[in-house]
Amino acid sequence: MAAPGGGKWDLLLSNIGTSAMHMQLLHTDRVVILDRTDFGASNISLPNNNCRNNPRDQTLQIDCTAHSVEYDVSSNSIRPLTVFTNVWCSSGSAMPDGSLMQTGGFNDGDHNARLYKPCNDESCDWQEFDNVLTQRRWYATNHILPDGRQIIVGGRGQFSYEFYPKKAGADLSYNLPFLSQTNDPRIENNLYPFVFLNVDGNLFIFANNRAILFDYLNGMVVKTYPMVPGGDPRSYPSSGSAVLLPLRNLQGGTNNVSVEVLVCGGAPQGSYTSANNRNFVTALNSCGRIRITDPNPQWVVETMPSARVMGDMVLLPNGNVLIINGASAGTAGWELGRNPALTPIIYRPNNPIGLRFEVQNGSSTPRMYHSTAILLRDGRVLVGGSNPHAYDNFNVGVLFPTDLTIETYSPDYLDPRLARVRPKIVSPVSQSQIGYGQQLAINFTAEGRINRDLIKVTMVAPPYATHAFSMNQRLLVLTNDNSTGSSTNVTSLGRSNYQVRVLTPSSNVVAPPGYYLLFVVYREFPTVGIWVQIK
């Protein structure tokens, strides 16, 4: 049931066969879901009596079950996929052509890459590339780059980065001392670093409790940011989460763009050691927000309504941030979290400090360690996962049993009572291609008289979600095109039909090539999105 202003929860499937440790939405409106391969049989069989024969698997060498599935949003159905090597705690990114490139993992998978090319039938499956990475990449972070390659940053015991796909010649691994500097001995607190592409082409990299701006092409630290006040860790296993806040003013040069990062939650210093000793410390209830493009950037600390560790942060089409999943005590790791954080929070970045957080309607399903959440094209948020055990454990009475369900959280902009307020895109059609720095006209319908100044157009890059971080998550508010000399970029076409004119992103640094979800937003109400490919 929905609470006023609080959103609504719906169970989609009670058993998808495997737990959703990793999720990625593709431009076919299908979601690829992965779990580790070395815990034994899953709850869904491979098709056609196929089996995986892997002598290097540490638990089950001949395995006839699937550890990856494809979820079809439109039919609410699951299809098993065959992933061969272990993707446990791996990373990935959607590529410019819409395929999913997935890298690293554990044991036999730690030097591998995998490619999933989506299709509209049931013929597509994982392709595996053995030993193509220079270093073992386990608990690393990937980010798509302007040239269409991925950068892979860090991983357990790896204070370096590399690129994939590889270029011919000396495309190896490159040291990144910042990762060794942020490594807490025997605890780490710098795995799955938060990585964002800045509008100047450099990478913002946050690990533990601090960040740098990094020129990855020349291997140089461009800027060192101050430590988050308090100095508590916010990277795995003291897992907070982070987003790049919506990018605006994207025309007229990147000097006009104010880029901000928001980091929320985490665990106080020493929490991981305490949790291993069965003392579960209350998580952090603070967020740090920093304008990374300022000449003298400083963190501004805000207080959440509740503490959270292992939470996910999802950029919604209207530019708000959903904070969901996780626990309010302990840390990431096997059975180290307590007190599930069942109540999501909406963060409104444009509101004044003190008025930005809004508590939402809670779920009854704990989403602890190894949970995920991603945005769907219709504006719902897909939520799944939760397995804090070394193996699947469904035993009655076990604390936080392995969860095979998927559900959706529908923010209040999807309240059926407000359906008439929600606009609808007429053209362009979904799957359209757009270029950089071009005029784009979008026709849409909206009931009644609208305030044209409250219309905006957003583009959202679908991220790869795992371990409380969504890699490549990016939202752009497109600049109004007032080239006609009109005071507004919205024109009435009669009978509730309108056209909004915007300018597409100026470059592949602002918006790396690939598929994005495009929305028209009226007030805070988004349309159903359409897929656009920018190239």
List pLDDT tens digits, range 181-219.
Answer: 999 999 999 999 999 999 999 999 999 999 999 999 999
Q: Quick one: how many helices (H) and strands (E) in the chain?
A: 2, 45
DSSP letter at 506?
S
Give one DSSP letter per residue of 319-368, joined into a string: S-EEEE--EEEE-SSTT-EEEE--S-EEE-TTSPTTS-EEE-PPPSS---
Give exposure, 50-62, as e/b (b: 16+ Cβ within 10 Å). Answer: eebebeebeeeee
Tell me, what's the pLDDT at 75?
98
Tell me, what's the pLDDT at 121?
87
Paired strand residues for 441: 501
Residue 102, phi then psi, degrees to nearest 5? -125, 135
Percent residues over pLDDT 70 in the chain? 97
Compare 363 and 120 and report the one with higher pLDDT: 363
Q: How confident is the model at residue 495 (pLDDT cuts 50, 70, 90)?
A: confident
Please report where in the chains the tokens 């309607």 appear, as a residue.
361
Tell me, what's the pLDDT at 484?
60
CA distance 339 to 171: 45
Which residue in 382, 383, 380, 402 sits closest to 392, CA to CA? Answer: 402
Compare 354 and 256 and report the one with higher pLDDT: 354
Tell me, what's the pLDDT at 524?
94
CA distance 23 to 68: 10
Q: Determine the average pLDDT of the residues in 321-338.
A: 98
Q: Quick one: 417 exposed, middle or buried, by C-beta within 10 A (0-12, 13-18, 19+)?
A: exposed
DSSP letter at 168?
S
Query: Do 434 and 504 contact (CB within 8 A), yes or no?
Result: yes
CA distance 294 to 288: 15
Tell me, what's the pLDDT at 171?
84
pLDDT exceeds cutoff 60 at 3:
no
Please report where in the chains the tokens 């690393």 appear, as a residue.
140
DSSP letter at 409?
E
DSSP letter at 65?
B
Q: Name the strand (E) or helix (H) holding 439.
A: strand 439-445
Give one DSSP letter per residue of 270-305, joined into a string: THHHHHHTT--PBPP-EEEEEETTSSS---EEEE-S
Q: Determine the average pLDDT of the residues in 71-98.
A: 98
Residue 88, phi then psi, degrees to nearest 5? -55, 125
CA distance 251 to 216: 25
CA distance 481 to 484: 8
Q: Determine the average pLDDT of the residues in 389-405.
A: 93
pLDDT exceeds cutoff 80 at 169:
no
Which residue in 498, 494, 416, 495 sits closest to 457, CA to CA? Answer: 498
- Distant-in-sequence, close-in-space partners of 480: CB < 8 Å, separation ≥ 6: 488, 489, 501, 502, 503
CA distance 371 to 123: 28
Percent residues over pLDDT 90 in the chain? 90
Query: Do 40 and 60 contact (CB within 8 A), yes or no?
Result: yes
Q: How confident is the model at residue 4 (pLDDT cuts 50, 70, 90)?
A: very low
Which residue in 426, 498, 419 sits closest to 455, CA to CA? Answer: 498
- Computed over every residue of the chain, the mean pLDDT equals 95
